[in-house]
Amino acid sequence: MKIPNFADIRAAKARISSFVNSTPLLTNKTINELSGAEIHFKCENFQKVGAFKFRGACNSVFALDDQSASKGVATHSSGNHAQALALAAKMRGIPATIVMPNNSPQVKKDAVAGYGAEIVFCEPTLEARESTLDKVIAEKGHTFIHPYDNYNVICGQGTAAMEILEEAHDFDAVIAPVGGGGLLSGTAIATKCINPSIKVYAAEPEGADDAYRSFKAGEIIPSVKPNTICDGLLTSLGKLNFEIISKNVDEIFTANDDEIKSAMRLVWERMKIIIEPSSAVPLAVVLKNKELFAGQKIAIIISGGNVDLGKLVF
């Protein structure tokens, strides 16, 4: 298994920098006082399509050679990766096909269609997703861009941490949420290559703690019947992601949904920014482990801001 290195992430940054938003690092005095730490929030909720996912999708699309690119890209996703890949393909002017479960919310279908991608619906099972995708690829010659278990996707996601560490080198820790592990693995490689003394931590909901258990067990333990408000963190770790995480991540912490809701509300109320539940897990973890993080300078990656305003958890 080929592991991305820092040169790959640097190349990704050069490749995508004219397409992605260079998002701000924000701080908040009240949250610093409450936590006893100095927290810098990397606002990927301000990224295109409202989530860090655009970085990886964009890098994957623009890393293709012209011939492969002209044949288009495909993925199965009903979430942020679907929109991200659709927009990246649109920017390169190539076709994209997204396999989506037929019970996906209308707002997500509309968003993907709005970026000009073709949607192929399937039954809402993993098996149907994969077989439908295989069929699409066989027919159209598309390149499959996996949402997280993909070399170029991981490199793209690592550019968020690169941007953080270009603004300041002296962080004690960087914390990212973990679902499939795309953001976390990219973050870990970028951070450890720039400064190995910076700790890389992951934050995961208790109701979907397969990454925590996998990390402790030393092998991938699949996510079975996850139960959490963090709709972006339900999947199992990818193989390449697990390989990177087990070597480069210092610790995985968990928080329960009440702690996550409370951290999310704190960010909305005090910072006046909209973050999705998955993005609140790192802050929940810091507030839960104050003695551990006291006095530290910490970067937290806010993964995205895509919430259904009609179904708020407050």
Residue 93 CB, nearest distance to its own copies (Å)? 18
Q: Among 223, 240, 286, which residue's Cα sits nearest to residue 31?
A: 286
Buried b (16+ CB within 10 A) or exposed e, 101-140: beebeeebbebbeebebbbbebeeeeebbeebbeebbeee
Q: Pairing relation of β-strands 25-26 and 38-43?
A: antiparallel
Q: At what angle do helices 151-167 and 6-16 cross, to 10 degrees?
A: 80
d(CA 16, CA 14): 6
Indicate the residue among 50 and 156 with the shorter CB distance to its own copies. Answer: 50
In angstroms, the CA 101 to CA 120 distance is 9
Angle at CA of residue 72, ends 66 and 78, nearest 5°: 140
* Residues 280, 284: Cα–Cα separation, whole Å: 6
Q: Is the CB of 7 or the CB of 313 nearer to its own copies? A: 313
The residue among 45 and 191 lying less far from its own copies, judged by its C-beta, is 45
Nearer to its own copies, 126 or 312 (CB): 312
Question: How far apart are CB 115 and its own copies at their closest, in Å?
Answer: 12
Shortest approach of its own copies to residue 54 CB, angstroms? 13
Residue 275 CA to residue 255 CA, distance in Å, equals 17
Instruction: Give the residue with the Cβ less far from its own copies, 35 or 191.
Output: 35
**Contact footprint for its own copies (CB under 8 A):** 24, 45-46, 50, 265, 268-269, 271-275, 305, 309-310, 312, 314
Burial class for 181, CB neighbours closer than 10 Å (0-12, 13-18, 19+): buried
Q: How far is the CB of 112 from its own copies (least distance, A)?
A: 15
In sequence order, the β-bridge partners of residue 122 are 101
Q: Which amino acid type is present at position 185?
A: S
Nearest to 206 by CA among 249, 257, 242, 250: 257
Question: Minimum distance between the CB of residue 306 and its own copies, rounded to whole angstroms?
Answer: 8
CA distance 200 to 193: 11
**DSSP secondary-structure letter at 225?**
S
Give the 3-state secondary structure of residue 169: coil
Q: How far is the CB of 122 from its own copies (least distance, A)?
A: 28
Q: Rounded distance, CA 7 to CA 266, Å? A: 37
CB nearer to its own copies: pick between 12 and 43: 43
